[in-house]
A and B are shown apart, each in its own frame.
Chain A
Amino acid sequence: MKVRWDFVTNSSTTSFIIICSGKPRLDDFLAAIGAKAGTPAAELFRQLYYVLCDGLKPVNEADRKESENVYDMLKDEFSERTANRVQSALREGKDVWYGRLASENTEVEAFFCTDSFEVERGEFYLNALPCGW
């Protein structure tokens, strides 16, 4: 959880990372989330998948803001544990993707922008822990 001390508005953007091999695949994502194919839950999370994939960048190309390097940016935005995990994943040749969710966009994006969660299954890992109001 992050505590924000500056001016807080009624809209929000939050960041997330995905670790996997290659680009994130829908079936891996649904399996990690726990939604059975062809059900209302899968319908909802399929929409989330497309939202997440839209604007996804390799973590090394992410906007580092004031941080000197990706490690510091991840440590600041997520946690030291996440920064270490990303570093290990990159060393192992896995793909690490970085993206943002905004509360002002689609219904589904706004919905998940306000919930803090982390899912993992097999080689697929999604960290959206900085999300939440």
Chain B
Amino acid sequence: MLLRRTSAGVVVSYGRRPSLRACLRKAGAYPDTYAADVVQGAYEWYVVEVVDLKREYRLYYKPEYPTIYAFLYRKFGFNKADIRALKTDLDSDRYVGLATASVRYGGGLKGYISYDGRDGLAARLLGASWEEVG
């Protein structure tokens, strides 16, 4: 799994969706503990509550935008460097999702871990790679 900070938010991509159990194991958090609660918060934010960008385009926006790149550029505000960095994933079978900001404030722990520079912390907890784009 790879997390990337882009101009539109944090993008998560993976070939096979990681399970919560696998993330807990990678993080080193024992089940039913506070450490597991923290890792689960990160998991929900970056794996569960994300916008599936390819599906969103295919189901709702394909007639409106000629390509998924144009869709990401105009609809979500990704810049050209972001789109270049995502191109390989977009053209492959990999899942590409955007962690939205809708619960950034008032969302408790899971909102807070994505606030400002803390995404790298969440990536470490999920055993994901972290990349800054642009």
Name A's B-contacting residues (CB within 8 A): 33-45, 107, 111, 114-115, 117, 119, 132-133
CB-CB under 8 A from B14, the residues of chain A are none
B106 nearest in chain A by CB position: A133
B9 at the interface (CB under 8 A from A): no
Q: Are B34 and A33 in contact (CB under 8 A)?
A: yes
Q: Are B33 and A34 in contact (CB under 8 A)?
A: yes
Task: Give CA–CA (A40, B109) in the complex, Å.
Answer: 18
- Tell me the count of chain B residues lying within 8 A, CB to CB, of chain A: 24
Name B's A-contacting residues (CB within 8 A): 26-30, 32-39, 106, 108-109, 112-113, 117-118, 121, 124-125, 127
Total number of residue pairs linking A and B with CB closer than 8 Å: 65
Q: Are A111 and B121 in contact (CB under 8 A)?
A: yes
CB-CB under 8 A from B124, the residues of chain A are 40, 43-44
CB-CB under 8 A from B32, the residues of chain A are 34
Q: Are B118 and A34 in contact (CB under 8 A)?
A: no
Q: Are B118 and A40 in contact (CB under 8 A)?
A: no
Minimum CB–CB distance from A120 to chain B (whole Å) comes to: 10
Q: Are A40 and B34 in contact (CB under 8 A)?
A: no
Q: Are B121 and A34 in contact (CB under 8 A)?
A: no
Which of A33, A41, A45, A119 has the most chain B CB atoms inside 10 A of its CB? Answer: A41
Task: Give CA–CA (A17, B99) in the complex, Å.
Answer: 35
Q: Are A41 and B121 in contact (CB under 8 A)?
A: no
